Amino acid sequence: MITLEDWALIRRLAAEGVPEAQIAQRLGISRTTVIKAVNSDAPPRYERRPAPTSFTVFEVRVRELLVQTPDMPATVLAERVGWTGSIRWFRENVARLRPEQRPIDPVDRIVWAAGDAAQCDLWFPPRKIPLEDGSAKLLPVLVITAAYSRFVTARMIPTRKTEDLLLGSWELIQQLGRVPRRLIWDNEPGIGRGQRRAEGVGSFMGTLATKLVLLPPRDPESKGIVERRNGWFETSFIPGRTFSSPADFNAQFTDWLTKANARVVRTIKAAPADLVDTDRAAMLALPPIPLHLGWRNKIRLGRDYYVRLDTNDYSVDPAVIGRMVDVAADLDRVRVRADGRVVAEHCRVWARGTTVTDPAHVQTAAWLRKQFQQPRAVVAGDDLARDLADYDRAFGLTAEEGIS
């Protein structure tokens, strides 16, 4: 086989008009080799004939195992097939076979129409937020991104529970000003999984007249817009920032999103702020009736004049001990009512296991306790003696029987 240099020289000499016999004589090769070089379309390439290797006898069994479990680690495969040679050589061969056994999952290019959908997700910033009790905690941020315009609304919420997810969703939809025709979620337990919807989610979607779409497992492409934004937040918003509270985080994040929505998005070649009006025009109107969302409970207030919301306890006016009270809370406030009258109102605490006490409630409890502990005064002239004949009549005894 001729070298690459000889092949190039043969073709150059042939192009200059040198006879093939003279080229063969000059290079000391056969005329047939010269003819093949002149007529070839590509330079010569040495190809080694495939020969059996130490891995060959294990290949069939490895393929069978990869068909059953495509992600089985190479070390486990080596143990299953009885490999005793170099693990590095085994890994290289497994890496060559593994792509052939994986099922194919094509990805379609999705075109989003104006007003059609918004993608919803929870982002957990990698920064603990200081709370009221001095502790710090990683808190979720609810993010809703309009699929057509890429316009982002977001805010930090206390928990991943259904009550807070719906409260946050409603607040962000109000910021958007209209209702997307579909809200796309990725199996968040507080919203629903598969065919199951969390309690209250169905009525929320019905009031908005929108459709909830819960994506099947292993379908990240259908919600990739909002997930890419989450990664962008971590590289563009978080670095160099500090936060003193959840309210401080939301204030900074809202201000930053105003600027972020004005930046041109490469994939759509436009700024979300410039397209959001077109998006809104195709969305649904906000519902004409108020939404009753948030934490709600009805209990009888005990002597320990506190009510529990999530994991925290809030004091209530002790004057309504023993009566039924209605407990309601949103993302910011906790209110307790008795017969429609507010008997307690507190800022909602985002820490866990905290007791929130109003000093006025403690004073009222002390006064009521003092009144209870004072002995009752006996009214002058109140005769507590009773005629014994009353007991005879009560038990059906005659006068003679009573005397005996």
Q: What is the pLDDT of residue 115?
A: 94
How does the average pLDDT of the chain come out, rounded? 89
- The domain ranges of the chain are 4-39, 56-101, 118-281, 295-373
Mean pLDDT of the region 308-333: 95
CA 330 to chain centre: 20
Q: What is the pLDDT of residue 385?
A: 63
pLDDT, tens digit (0-9, with 9 covering 90-100), for 293-320: 999 999 999 999 999 999 999 999 999 9
10 within 8 A of 23, measured Cβ to Cβ: yes
pLDDT band at 20 (very low <50, low <70, confident <90, very high): confident
Task: Look at the block and give the residue holding tokens 């497992």.
Answer: 217
Indicate the pTM of the whole model: 0.71
What distances in angstroms separate CA 40 from CA 9, 16, 36, 384, one per listed residue?
Answer: 13, 17, 6, 131
pLDDT band at 395 (very low <50, low <70, confident <90, very high): low
Q: Can you say whether residue 120 is alpha, beta or left, with left for phi > 0 and alpha for psi between -120 and 50 degrees?
A: beta
Q: How far apart are CA 222 and CA 215, in angstroms?
A: 8
Superfamily (CATH H level) for 118-281:
Ribonuclease H-like superfamily/Ribonuclease H (3.30.420.10)
H or E element, residue 390: helix 389-394
Q: Percent of the chain beyond pLDDT 90?
A: 65
CB-based burial label for 347 (10 Å; 0-12, 13-18, 19+): exposed
Mean pLDDT of the region 39-60: 81
